[in-house]
């Protein structure tokens, strides 16, 4: 697109137009909750316009190939034949019959995907997907995440955590530590771990404070931190779902948490200064699509699902690849991708090509790279547009400068102002308005960019999005 072309497509550039505020309550504004958290789960289906929806929690995104195959069968035989990957590394099945809850639960239990019915919505754990695979990071935190999940499922009180409460287990590279989790573990050089309660400080990527614990104590310390949060919720008389929703006088304090840890025999010391995380660039720390080199001639395959959705056929291809060529395991990432560990370097390129042929994103220069969308019409009654169709059309339409997509801001298309599943950090917000879209950069910190808002028709959206992302 020519430099001035953005102006051609701009129906109105509404300088200084206020962006819709984020809706999460702040500490100054405790959440008025008249009902429990309605987050969907595998046992609590959500009735959407395209049928019932089930969200299957996958702690650390981990799946055996046996479990992955069970999900594909459930999607095909009970749902609409597709699998959505979520921003927490979980899988959603859509288009389910309203009476299939029992059959789905039986299948998930049979596959080992429901270790505790009572805890199924509390098992929100993300972990660095490349931990132990590429030589980065300071610990194989996938093991920590598995232990954390076991402890969560055996502690009765954690069943009352909201379905929105999130644990993050970062191997020190700084990828999932930037996801604004409620309880975060971060591996440090030397083998210990930082335990942090609440979101990352500053821009979420560069620094953190917290308590220092031994690596072997880290999973247990994370569960105790969640119990400390639940105690604060009770003391405050609120129904806070997230740590950031606690009123300030009831914030989880390092001193009280250290006391609870000590009672459990866990020694914790307060960090005197921020601890550096990886490169300080959370986006750069995530797995890029393609072949990821590791030690001893082993590689991992990293792919993204276009707009976060896979057909059962694409999912089966990933499963078969993991079974035949990999280590028999898949890792669903919080960036709507899948990592397959353990393939040989010799066969890696051929495997990547086969996955690309099947429509998966295997290259950062793909026009689908960095593009996301909510469910939109027809699946969501709140949506003002078929955002997935429009996002797909825009991705196909724009000719990007070679190499530009790899460095462009992520873009997210939303059918209404809730913006379900939008990315954090810096991103381009494409919001349906009923007669088109409003396109704006968010989180850039540059006032002139934050105020630049394009109001465009669906046909004009592609160019406005490209201009806002910087891909043309």
Nearer to ligand SF4, 167 or 427 (CB): 427
Per the listing, tokens 């550039």 go with 13
The minimum distance between CB 89 and ligand SF4, in angstroms, equals 18
How far is the C-alpha of 250 from the C-alpha of 244, rounded, in Å?
A: 11
How far is the C-alpha of 132 from the C-alpha of 39, rounded, in Å?
A: 32
Q: Which of 298, 331, 336, 419 binds ligand SF4 (CB under 6 A)?
A: 419
The minimum distance between CB 384 and ligand SF4, in angstroms, equals 7
How far is the C-alpha of 121 from the C-alpha of 386, rounded, in Å?
A: 29
How far is the C-alpha of 371 from the C-alpha of 369, rounded, in Å?
A: 6
* Sign of the Cα pseudo-torsion (123, 285, 372, 469, in order): positive
The minimum distance between CB 418 and ligand SF4, in angstroms, equals 4
The minimum distance between CB 380 and ligand SF4, in angstroms, equals 3
Which range, of 181-189, 206-214, 238-246, 380-388, touches ligand SF4 by CB under 6 A? 380-388
Strand partners, 338: 303, 332
Per CB under 6 A, does 298 bind ligand SF4? no
Nearer to ligand SF4, 376 or 423 (CB): 376
C-alpha 70 chain-centroid distance = 22
| SS3 label, residue 343 | strand
Give me the torsion for CA of 226, 227, 228, 231, rounded to 10°. 130
Q: Which of 174, 415, 423, 436 binds ligand SF4 (CB under 6 A)?
A: 415
Per CB under 6 A, does 383 bind ligand SF4? yes
Q: Which of 292, 304, 380, 428 binds ligand SF4 (CB under 6 A)?
A: 380
How far is the C-alpha of 460 from the C-alpha of 472, rounded, in Å?
A: 15
The minimum distance between CB 414 and ligand SF4, in angstroms, equals 4
The minimum distance between CB 87 and ligand SF4, in angstroms, equals 12
DSSP 407-443: HSPPEEEESSTT-TT--SSSEEEEEE-SSSEEEEEES
Per CB under 6 A, does 418 bind ligand SF4? yes
Per CB under 6 A, does 382 bind ligand SF4? yes
Beta strands in 71-206 (DSSP E): 82-85, 91-96, 125-127, 167-170, 183-187, 192-197
Q: In terms of DSSP bridges, do strands 211-214 and 192-197 run parallel, antiparallel, or are they unpaired?
A: antiparallel
Q: Which of 63, 374, 440, 462 binds ligand SF4 (CB under 6 A)?
A: 374
Nearer to ligand SF4, 119 or 336 (CB): 336
Per CB under 6 A, does 179 bind ligand SF4? no
Which range, of 101-109, 159-167, 231-239, 372-380, touches ligand SF4 by CB under 6 A? 372-380
Which range, of 22-30, 221-229, 415-423, 447-455, touches ligand SF4 by CB under 6 A? 415-423
**Interface residue list for ligand SF4 (CB under 6 A):** 374-376, 380, 382-383, 414-416, 418-420
């Amino acid at each position: 697109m020519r430099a001035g072309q953005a102006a051609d497509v701009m129906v109105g550039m509404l300088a200084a137009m206020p962006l819709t505020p984020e809706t999460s309550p702040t500490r100054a504004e405790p959440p008025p909750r008249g009902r429990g958290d309605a987050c969907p789960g595998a046992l609590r289906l959500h009735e959407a316009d395209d049928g019932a929806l089930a969200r299957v929690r996958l702690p650390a995104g981990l799946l055996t190939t046996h479990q992955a195959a069970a999900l594909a069968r459930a999607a095909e035989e009970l749902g609409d034949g597709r699998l959505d990957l979520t921003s927490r590394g979980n899988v959603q099945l859509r288009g389910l019959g309203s009476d299939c809850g029992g059959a789905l639960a039986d299948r998930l239990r049979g596959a080992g995907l429901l270790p505790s019915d009572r805890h199924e919505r509390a098992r929100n754990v993300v972990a660095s997907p490349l931990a132990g695979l590429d030589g980065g990071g300071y610990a194989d935190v996938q093991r920590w995440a598995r232990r954390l999940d076991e402890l969560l499922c055996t502690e009765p009180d954690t069943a009352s955590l909201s379905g929105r409460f999130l644990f993050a287990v970062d191997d020190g590279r700084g990828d999932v530590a930037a996801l604004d989790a409620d309880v975060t573990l971060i591996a440090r050089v030397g083998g210990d771990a930082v335990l942090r309660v609440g979101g990352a400080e500053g821009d979420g990527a560069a620094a953190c404070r917290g308590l220092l614990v031994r690596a072997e104590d880290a999973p247990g310390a994370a569960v105790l931190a969640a119990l400390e949060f639940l105690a604060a919720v009770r003391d405050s008389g609120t129904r806070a779902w997230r740590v950031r929703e606690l009123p300030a006088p009831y914030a989880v304090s390092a001193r009280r948490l250290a006391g609870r840890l000590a009672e459990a025999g866990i020694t914790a010391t307060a960090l005197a200064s921020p601890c550096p995380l990886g490169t300080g660039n959370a986006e750069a720390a995530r797995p890029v699509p393609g072949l990821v080199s590791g030690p001893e001639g082993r590689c991992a395959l990293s792919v993204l699902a276009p707009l976060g959705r896979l057909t059962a056929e694409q999912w089966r291809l990933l499963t078969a690849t993991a079974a035949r060529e990999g280590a028999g395991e898949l890792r669903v990432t919080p960036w709507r991708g899948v990592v397959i560990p353990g393939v040989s370097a010799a066969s890696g390129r051929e495997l990547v090509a086969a996955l690309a042929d099947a429509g998966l994103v295997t290259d950062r220069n793909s026009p689908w790279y960095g593009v996301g969308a909510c469910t939109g019409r027809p699946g969501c009654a709140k949506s003002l547009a078929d955002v997935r169709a429009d996002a797909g059309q825009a991705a196909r339409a724009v000719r990007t400068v070679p190499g530009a997509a790899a460095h462009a801001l992520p873009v997210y298309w939303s059918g209404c102002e809730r913006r379900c599943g939008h990315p954090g950090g810096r991103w381009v917000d494409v919001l349906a308005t009923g007669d088109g879209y409003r396109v704006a950069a968010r989180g850039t910190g540059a006032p002139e960019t934050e105020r630049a808002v394009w109001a465009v028709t669906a046909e004009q959206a592609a160019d406005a999005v490209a201009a806002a992302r910087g891909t043309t």
